[in-house]
Chain A
C-alpha cells in the first residue's frame, strides 16, 4: 500500500491519487506552442470544438431518430422537426456543423501544405490528419443516409455501386456491403450503426493519435524555424516571457484559440439560424423511392472535387482516377522532395504549385455542381487532368528547389 498524506484541498487529494498536477503540467502549462503563429493555427481547436458540437447535437437527434426504412423519414422530418421541442435546432446544428467541419478541415489542410507542416518529423501528423479526413468522409456519408430521402437513397445506391469496380462487375461485393440487392433495411441499419457508433469511436481514437503525433515534433511556425524548445521553455519559466519563443498551450495559446472560435461560432450560428438551407438539399425532402431517380444526383459540396474527377472519364478510368484522388494526399510528405520547411511564398515554383492546386480544386468543386454539359464538362475534364499533372510535377519541382 502506497503512503498517502492528508490532503489540504480537493486538487491535492486528486493529485495524490491520479497525478492531477503532473497531468496538467504535461498537457497544458508545459506543453509549448511557438509564438510565431497566426489565426490559422487555431483551426485544430476549432475542429475539435465543432466535433464536440456535432457529438452533442447528434446525441439529441439519436433520442428520436428511428432507423427503419418505413419510419426514418418521418422521424426526422415530422417528429424531430415539428414535435420535439427544439428538435429543429439540433438538426440544423448537425447539418450545418457537418458542412462547416469540412470547410475547416480543408483550411487546416491547406494551411499545413502552405507552411510545409508535413515534413521532417511531422509526417505522421499529416498522415493521421488525412486518416481523420477519410474517417470524417465516411461519417458524413453514413449520416447522409439516415433521413432516408431521395438523395440519401440514390447517393447510397451510386456510392455503393462504385465498389462494383466498373468492368470487374463485383455485384456480389456491392450486395454484401448493402446486405440487400438495393439499399433497404439492412443497409439503413448498418449505416446507422456506422454513423452513431463505429465511426465516431474511430474518429475519437484518431484525434487522440493526431494530438499524440504533434507532441514530439511540435507545432510548426510561420517561418518553419527550428529552435530549441527546452531552452525556450526555460526562458519562459524563468519569467523572461518576452525573450522566449514559446507560450504554454493552456491558458495562453488556448485563450487565442477561444477568440478565433468566438468569431467562428458567430458565423456558425448565423448559418444555423438564418441560412441552414444551404446544408439541406431540397431533393432530400422527398422520401426515398427506389422506382424514381432524381434528375441530377450530386454529392454535398465537400465531395464535389473528387466527384468531378470521377465524372469526365469513362467508367473504368474514372474509377481509377477517383481512387487515386482519394489517397494521393496521404503521399504528400514523400512526394515533396525538398528539405525546406518554409512557407510556400519562399519556395519558388512550389508557391505556384500551391495556388494552382488550390484553384484547381475550387474549379473541380464548381464544375462538380454544374450539369455535365458543353463547356462545363470540358473545363471539368481539364481541371481533372490538371489535378494529376500537378501531383506528377510535385516531386520534380521540389527536387530542383533551391535549399534555403
Chain B
C-alpha cells in the first residue's frame, strides 16, 4: 500500500520537476536577446571614402564608434605601441574605437588642429590613435571586434587582426 503511494508520489514529483525544468528553460530563453537584436549587433562601415583627420562617428550596438583616417605624417610621428592600435587596409591607416571614455563613459571630442581627443568630463586626453595621453582614463579607447572585408569593416565579427590586438593586450574585449 505504502509502496504504491510512494510510487504515485514519486511519479507525480518526477513529472512535475520535469515540467518545472522545462518551464525554467523557456523562461530563460524568453529573456534572451531577440534574434533581431542579435542580428542588429553587426555594423558594416566602408572606410574607402573616409577623409583624413576628420572624425566620423558611427553607431554599433547602441554605442558611438569613432573612425579616424590617419594622414601620412600622423603615422610617421606615432610610437610603435600606438601603431599597433591602427587598422591597416592597403597603405591606409585608420583608428577605429568605441567612443566612450574609459574613465566613466563620457564621449570625448576630437580636435583636428591638435590631432587629439579631449574628454570634457574630467579632462582625459587621447592621441590620434585614441591611446591615452593624460589621466584619469586608465587606458586608450577600446577597439570593437572587427573583421576586414576588402575596404569594409564588419563590426561585431572577429577577424584575425582583432584577435591579434586582443592577444597582445592592445585592447580589452568590448
Interface status of A180 (Cβ within 8 A of chain B): yes
> Per a CB cutoff under 8 Å, which of A179, A181, A186, A293 touches B61?
A181
Residue of B nearest to A172 (CB): B33
A141 to B121, CA, bound (A): 26
Contact B104 A179, beta carbon cutoff 8 Å: no
CB-based contact A179/B32 at 8 Å: yes
Q: B54 → chain A, closest Cβ, in Å?
A: 18
Residue pair B121, A295 in contact (C-beta under 8 Å): yes
Note all chain B residues with C-beta closer than 8 A to A180.
33, 37, 62
A142 CB to closest chain B CB (Å) equals 14
Which residues in chain A, 157-205, are within 8 Å of chain B measured between CB atoms?
Answer: 157, 169, 171, 175-182, 184, 186, 190
Q: In the complex, what distance in Å separates the CA atom of A186 from the CA atom of B38?
A: 12
| Chain A contacts for B106, CB-based, 8 A | 293, 295
Shortest CB–CB separation between residue B37 and chain A, in angstroms?
5
Contact B121 A176 (CB under 8 A): no
Contact assessment for A179 and B105 in the assembled complex, using a CB-CB cutoff below 8 Å: no
Expressed in whole angstroms, the minimum distance between the Cβ of B66 and any Cβ of chain A is 12
Report A181 CB to chain B, min CB distance, Å. Answer: 4
Task: Contact check, B41 vs A293: say whether CB atoms are below 8 A apart.
Answer: no
With a cutoff of 8 Å between Cβ atoms, the chain A residues found around residue B121 in the complex are 293, 295
A292 within 8 A of B: yes
Which residues of the other chain, B, contact A186 by a CB distance below 8 angstroms? Answer: 33-34, 37
Known: A169-B173, A291-B107, A293-B121. A176 touches B62 (CB 8 A): no
Does A19 lie at the interface of the complex (its beta carbon under 8 Å from any beta carbon of B)? no
Cβ of A290 within 8 Å of any chain B Cβ, yes or no, is: yes
In whole angstroms, how far apart are the Cα atoms of A293 and B120 in the complex?
A: 11
Interface contact B33-A175, CB-CB below 8 Å: yes
Question: Which of chain A's residues have a CB closer than 8 A to the CB of B34?
Answer: 179, 186
Of A175, A176, A178, A290, which contacts B63 at CB under 8 A? Answer: A290
Say yes or no: A293-B63 contact (C-beta < 8 A), given A179-B31, A179-B34.
no
C-alpha spacing A182/B100, complex, angstroms: 13
Within 8 A of B (CB), among A241-300: 290-293, 295, 297
Q: How far is the CA of A179 from the CA of B31 in the complex (A)?
A: 6
Within the complex, the shortest CB–CB distance from A121 to chain B, in Å, comes to 33
Whether B107 lies near A292 (C-beta < 8 A) is yes
Known A-B contacts A179-B34, A180-B33; A293 and B107 likewise in contact (beta carbons under 8 Å): yes
Chain A residue contacts of B37, Cβ below 8 A? 179-181, 184, 186
Determine if A181 and B62 form an interchain contact, defined as CB atoms under 8 angstroms apart: yes
Return the CB mask of B27-48 against A: 1 if under 8 Å, else 0. 0000111100100010000000
CB neighbours (8 Å) of B62 from chain A are 180-182, 184, 290
Of all chain B residues, which has the CB nearest A295?
B121
Which chain A residues in 213-254 approach chain B with CB under 8 Å? none
B159, CB-defined interface residue at 8 Å: no
A356 to B40, CA, bound (A): 52
- In chain B, positions 62-110 with a C-beta closer than 8 Å to chain A are 62-64, 100, 104-107
**A291 CA to B106 CA, complexed, in Å:** 9
List, in ascending order, chain A residues with CB within 8 A of B59's CB: 291
CA distance in complex: A189, B61 (Å): 18
List, in ascending order, chain B residues with CB within 8 A of A184's CB. 37, 62
Instruction: Specify which of A157, A169, A176, A293 is in contact with B31 (CB 8 Å cutoff).
Output: A176
The complex places the Cα of A176 from the Cα of B37 at a distance, in Å, of: 11
B32 CB contacts on chain A under 8 angstroms? 176, 179
C-alpha spacing A255/B33, complex, angstroms: 52
Q: Which residues of B contact A176 (CB under 8 A)?
A: 31-33
With both beta carbons as reference points, the residue of chain B lying nearest to A185 in the complex is identified as B37
Known A179-B33, A180-B37, A186-B33: A293·B105 in contact at CB below 8 Å: yes
Nearest Cβ in chain A — how far from B95, in angstroms?
Answer: 19
Across-interface contacts of A181 in B (CB, < 8 A): 33, 37, 41, 61-63
Q: Which residue of B lies closest to A293 (CB)?
A: B106
CA distance A181 to B63 in the complex (A): 9
8 Å CB interface, B1-46 against A: 31-34, 37, 41
> Min CB distance, B123 to chain A, in Å?
13
B113 to chain A, nearest CB (A): 24
What is the chain B residue whose CB lies nearest that of A290? B62
Min CB–CB distance A289 → chain B (angstroms): 10
Cα–Cα, bound, A177→B105 (Å): 20
Nearest CB of chain B from residue A367's CB, rounded to whole Å: 18
Residues of B within 8 A of A290 (CB): 62-63
Kindly provide the distance from the CB of B120 to the nearest chain A CB, expressed in whole angstroms: 9
A108 to B108, CA, bound (A): 46
CB neighbors of A among B118-174 (8 A): 121, 173
Q: List 20 A-B contacts (CB under 8 A).
A: A176-B31, A176-B32, A176-B33, A177-B31, A178-B33, A179-B37, A181-B33, A181-B41, A181-B61, A182-B61, A184-B37, A184-B62, A186-B34, A190-B31, A291-B59, A291-B64, A293-B106, A293-B121, A295-B106, A297-B104
* Extra pairs beyond A176-B32, A179-B37, A292-B107 (7, CB < 8 Å): A176-B31, A181-B37, A181-B61, A184-B37, A291-B64, A291-B107, A293-B100
**Using a CB–CB distance below 8 Å, which chain A residues touch chain B?**
157, 169, 171, 175-182, 184, 186, 190, 290-293, 295, 297
